[in-house]
Structure 1
């Protein structure tokens, strides 16, 4: 599949976000740069970083070194909890490190420790979006009630909520709550809580001649959930990107959903 034809989800402002992204937590220094470059070479067109990862410079350099057009790579970064009250300063520092004039998505990495800060921080992200520093804004690690607080206070729905997700964590109700509010669900650490030797996953993998890990990633995108696996191993990076040659049946999706209890 041509990478430009990879499935995307539409965010507010006519922003297209690829359903498959490359996570970069713990990918730092030259190894981080090499991993992102390998991911872009393998076909990823969505890279997820964060201020607290300490690798924005490496991510930005890899995007430039890839030879790809800026508009063909979706870049996410995140505001860390210790930068509450310094939002504008933080996004400007992120852009300098990345070597970009804007990111595609800026997230609040964790809910502020002081509940009274939640709305002011969210307003600062909205202001950054309106100034063109980011094309879309969202949150990470938020509960449904916390999403509702932001929506009720500002009338603005977070484009994305990035949370830990995977078959063992599947929660039909939580998925529906995001969908009903128009919030795109993005899952990180898809393999952390997943038993890749589970008979359900190995059976489905064998039926499609793919790996259980590829089944898990395909399960996310077939649900319309953005997924951001991470690796610094070139072979695994390529395998994680190679999920477009098959799709899961309704019965297979149901069986994987059931792993979440």
Structure 2
């Protein structure tokens, strides 16, 4: 049964880095439902490092920091896969932390912030604009955000405001694309995940373990759970959802004032 109604349809997935990537989990789940997944990785080196993982699947290279590469990869994909693209996944994030590590937010450098915004947020706009003609009339675009952009976690730094801009761009993309299509733009916003990228954030492991104590079920979010939500948003089954962010946190946001958690903290103090 083709529940997702994506069987045989092309979906372009940007952002696979390794087997822990959200993009990889999305891609393999789409494949299980019969979609024709086209992968885009950041560099030739990344293509080589993921060769064993991706096997003989179609894989293209594009560093979204360079708009000419976005146009080039579009042309390559269109030449090889001329049918309308049913879905597009933007699973790209990069924080330009400098060698001195995480600083107080007010010390964020201008170039740091602008480069982070360019790669992590503007790239969504640029990719969608480049692919607008190739996307099916009712295609779905999904990006990967975070569960909250207003909790001031010091170790996440200036990445949260950039993700907030990414979330905001969904509404504006949905509005502007509505002038000529029914293309939808949504975000999956998971809580803390165990990925290779997150492992590089100072203090992340402790935050991840703390999240497990706050989540009502006592278990952190699994990457597959975020991927499953993304696949739903990519499918016609979610046709009524547009310009939204779907939070995947297993209820963490409702449980900060759990009696047991408060009691433990008060004893520590």
Tell me which interval the TM-score lies in, with the shorter structure as reference length: 0.3 to 0.5
Given the two structures, how large is their TM-score scaled by the length of structure 1? 0.39
Name the larger-Rg structure.
2
